[in-house]
Structure 1
Amino acid sequence: MQAEPEEISPVERFNEMFSKLEDCCESEQKKIIEEMNMAMEEMNKTEFETIYTKEMLMKITELFEEKKISMRNAIWMLKPMGHHKALLSILNAGNSLYYPSLRFKRAIVQENEKKEEKNENFLADLCECYLLMEDGLITREMLTIASVCLLKVALKKEEDEETQKEVETALLGLCKINFYDREFDELHLRDFFEIIKYHQEHRNLTRLAYQSAWMYCIKRIQKCESVIAVSVNELDFVREAKREFEEARKCVDWGKKGKEGEQRRMETKNAAIVERWIFIINSFSSGKYQDEEFLEFLGEATKLCRAARENHIQVANQCFVVFSLMMKRNTLFPAANELQKSRAFDLLLEEIQRAKLNEEIMCHCLYFFLNLTKKWRENATDGVDWKEMKKMKRILFDKMEEEGYEDSIVSLHELLEFYNRKLRNNISTSISDYFVNI
């Protein structure tokens, strides 16, 4: 019986197509780039990072500079690459994108200075490539040109698939902007509130587009509190995040991996959207989470974390960031009470004993317990009845004792220095810091 041929990985397909690019005419190049983009959309974060390198981007720049590839085809290749990079929340390493982004910056200025012959669609493509590649670290000149150009696209309300894709990419680029100007932001935040409110009434955006609009706003919440506070409350961010989170969570079979083609593309995108919602929740406020909606979200995050920790480690990691930051930012009673109700505390106790625990997740767990024991020692009630506080401490202490928490921490003692060196974290290496008597 003849053996079936091995399935070629998305990375191998991408590299194979890329190697053919410079020997083809422009029309053939576009077909090859389309196949490259399809392969790229199947890649998870680890796979994508193997192609999104300084060497790859410099090679693309060389092809363009040597006129072996047109500006249109460069956009056709780099915009989906930037889109996928932003979706997976991958940041640039050093100056790996300096050369292509510099070329796009010059092209944006030249196109924007045109009068009668200005091509708004071409300018939008250039701006999207630039923002998605630069991670939003832009000049005031680029801020003004790109924001105005892409807001025109983002404010479109048609629901056809092509327009939805245009709006999604424009919002994804805009939410990457890390240039903050109070007057400028206050002016344009109103446009984003309109986009969010219209979607809540008509559901005209993709999940990624809607999420990107919220991300733009949440990133500016500390800078423009006078404008944003009321609007965020009226639009009910936590409720919307929880609903979107649940919808995206149901689209992924968290217990399985190794899917191919369209199914793999959709699962990669939906897993990344879930991870981004968790990230936005963490950025939402100072962390004083005592809201019923957030407690429900926390329960969903706990369920998801259990399901995702084998095959979607980045999503699980973001969940543990939520738990760790809650304990750091909140006083003991509300944080412990909500984590107890959501079963997150049980998950943290269980996770710290796992033999194959991810190093990054281990650090979040250790930070969590360090902050828990620190707050226990402080004995701060913050207006909470002392009997209630004592009762909660007893519940948590008994659970830790039952699960063998102290033995687990002792077994990790020799690894604490290693975690500090490898991950550059300031985790206490004093074993006594992890223990407290009731």
Structure 2
Amino acid sequence: MNEMINEMDGKEFRSAFTTELFNRINKMIEDKKLSLENAILLLKHIGYRKAQKNIRDPDFLRSLLDERLEKTIFEEDKKKKEEKDEKLLVDLCECYLFLSFFVSPKLFSMCVPYLLKVALNKEKNKEAQKEVEMALLTLSNFGEYLSFNFFENERIQKLYVDEIKDIILYHQDHQNLTRLAYQSVLECLLDRFEEDESLEEVVVNEVHLGREAAKEVEELWKCMDWKKKEEERGKGREEEMILMRWLKTLNIYFCNCRLRNEECIELIRCIVRLFRAAKDNCEGIRYWCDYLFETTAGKKAVEIKNLLKGRAVELFLEEIQQTKLDNIMTLHGLVYFMNVSNRLKEEMGDIIEKAKRKAAKKLIFEKMEEEGYEDVMISFHKMLSFLKDQHCGFGYISLNISDYFVNV
């Protein structure tokens, strides 16, 4: 059963694990045809793979099994300390938080201490590492749960930041976490950063997110056999799933970080290399690389000159000349240069910033001139309306050709 679950893609997963199936499991527990312990083993594996694949659906929430697990967690938690089974409570919390689409603030605040206790285990043996990985993967869903009840859960998120930072810094010194656990704990911190800008110094200068993400992404994509097509590599490759999680998480970093630093240059270079490796045979990774490039071009977390140093500009100069009119990369390229151009046109009062902007404009202009960008864009001029109509989701594509140029 576990092997079948591992091989499922997102569509197969959703079609298999429905409300009806969870109701059937609940009935089997009720009729004592399936023990709670065995049900937990199955549900933890289902939830673990669901979290790995970033699948979000409400099927479990609609089931009777949802009610049963929630009631069991509260009943176990109410027991006296000497009667309480903490291992069972951790397993139940992981099952519930992995599978549920929504968690009440009361239940959530009750589960957090049990999961943190497991996550803080610093042993390096495989069994301990797996338990830590499970707890951190569960905790990495904090952002989604807290977004429903942000103010009610504000106290919870303040409490665990120090513990999360401790786990990250200890791993950087001792390498005691699995790859998925490390990605998950950094995601926990970034989820809080999205709501609390005071964590910027911690994210950038203490845990060095840019440096660490670049290192992890680089190691992961080098494990992949990119010569094989997606279907030949098989479904559910762990490195591929973790890469996808990294790319989605990094969007939070690029959208929210205002504290600029040189570490992001290597991170952008790494994403460029990943894009080149994956563009012909991994649609999901290619899409998220594209999305990150658009984010970095449109937000102020990365300076324009660092986009050039990171070779993202060069990548899109190449791609926009190679793609066909019906290729989505054309649209991504147009949005990218439109964002870059808009940022360079922004008015800034500070003389130093004006000088920096002028220098960045000159670098971009020269690179575009060298690559023949102007000729390519002129050839697209009459096609902008066609492209916009063909890809109506790109409603923000400008029909004004000057919005894609950088003037010194």
TM-score by length of 1: 0.78
Change (3 A) 1:403 1:430: closer
Instruction: Determine which of 227, 241, 255 is the counterpart of 2:227.
Output: 255
Choose from 62, 69, 74 the match for 2:24. Answer: 62
Letter matched to residue 316 of structure 1: R
Q: Does 1:275 align with 2:239?
A: no
Hey, what does 2:62 align to over in structure 1?
98
Cα 1:254–1:167 shift into 2, 3 Å: same
Q: Deviations over 1:29-73 (max 9, x none)?
A: xxxxxxx22233234xxx232222386342232232254544333
* Cα separation, 2, equivalents of 1:247 and 1:209: 15
Say which is worse superposed, 142-151 or 76-85, in terms of deviation: 76-85
- Secondary structure (helix, strand or coil) at the match of 1:426 reads coil
Residue by residue over 1:250-305, the C-alpha shift from the partner in whole angstroms, topping out at 9 and shown as x without a partner, is 11112313677xx747x721112122223222212534474222101111110110
Instruction: Tell me the CA shift for residue 226 of structure 1.
Output: 4.3
Match of 1:19 in 2: none
> How many angstroms does 1:400 deviate by?
5.0
Structure 1: distance between partners of 2:21 and 2:380: 49
Answer yes or no: is 1:128 the counterpart of 2:94. Answer: yes
Give deviations 1:319-373, integer Å, cap 9, x for gaps.
11221111111399x32x22222221222233344239764x5554343233233
Q: Are 1:376 and 1:436, in contact at CA under 8 Å, matched by a contact in 2?
A: no
For 2:272 and 2:199, the matched residues in 1 are separated by 33
How do 1:7-406 and structure 2 match up within 5 A? 36-43=1-8, 47-53=9-15, 56-66=18-28, 67=31, 68-92=33-57, 94=58, 97-99=61-63, 100-115=65-80, 116-135=82-101, 137-177=102-142, 178-179=145-146, 180=150, 181-226=153-198, 229-230=201-202, 233-257=205-229, 264=234, 268-284=237-253, 286-288=256-258, 290-330=260-300, 334-335=303-304, 337-352=305-320, 353-355=322-324, 359=328, 363-378=331-346, 382-384=353-355, 388-398=359-369, 399-401=371-373, 404-406=376-378
C-alpha distance in 1 between matches for 2:139 and 2:357? 48
Percent of paired sites with the same residue? 32
How many angstroms apart in 1 are the aligned matches of 2:368 and 2:70? 58
Residue identity opposite 2:139 in structure 1: L
* Structure 1 Cα separation of the partners of residues 237 and 327 of structure 2: 20
Q: Is the 8 A contact 1:351 1:357 kept in 2?
A: no
Task: Name the count of aligned residue pairs.
Answer: 389
SS of equivalent to 1:98: coil
Q: Give structure 1 stretches of 5+ with no counterpart.
A: 1-35
Closer, same or farther: CA 349–78 of 1 in aligned 2, 3 Å: farther
Hey, what's the Cα distance between the residues in 1 that align with 2:93 and 2:325? 43
Unpaired runs of 5+ residues, structure 2, are none
CA change 1:342–1:356 in 2 (3 A) is same
Do the aligned residues in 2 keep the contact of 1:246 with 1:300 (CA within 8 Å)?
Answer: yes
Question: What is the CA distance between 1:138 and its match in structure 2?
Answer: 1.9
Does the 8 Å contact 1:64/1:71 carry over to 2? no
Distance 1:151 1:238, change over 3 A: same
The change in CA–CA distance for 1:201 and 1:405 in structure 2 (over 3 A counts) is same
Q: Distance in 2 between matches of 1:316 and 1:84?
A: 22
Work out whether residues 331 and 375 of structure 1, in 8 Å CA contact, stay in contact via their aligned partners in 2: no
Deviation by residue 1:178-215 (Cα, 9 ceiling, x = unmatched)? 32433322221111112112211211110110111111
Displacement of 1:147 in angstroms is: 0.4
Alpha carbons 1:373, 1:435 under 8 Å: kept: yes
CA shift for structure 1 position 106: 2.0
Segment drifting more, 202-211 vs 311-320 = 311-320
1:417-428 mapped onto 2 (5 Å cutoff): 417-420=389-392, 423=393, 425-428=394-397
C-alpha distance in structure 1 between counterparts of 2:327 and 2:72, whole Å: 44
Runs of 4+ off more than 6 Å: none
Q: Report the residue type matching 2:342 in the other structure.
A: K
Cα 1:190/1:210, change in 2 over 3 Å: same
Farther off after superposition, 102-111 or 362-371: 362-371
Provide the secondary structure at the position in 1 that maps to 2:192.
Answer: coil
Which of 161-170 and 284-293 deviates more? 284-293
**Secondary structure class of the residue paired with 1:157:** coil
Any idea what the Cα deviations from partners look like across 1:363-414, whole Å, max 9, x if unmatched? 5434323323334554768332575245224224423536623324644532
Compared CA separation, residues 160 and 57, structure 1 to 2 (3 A): farther
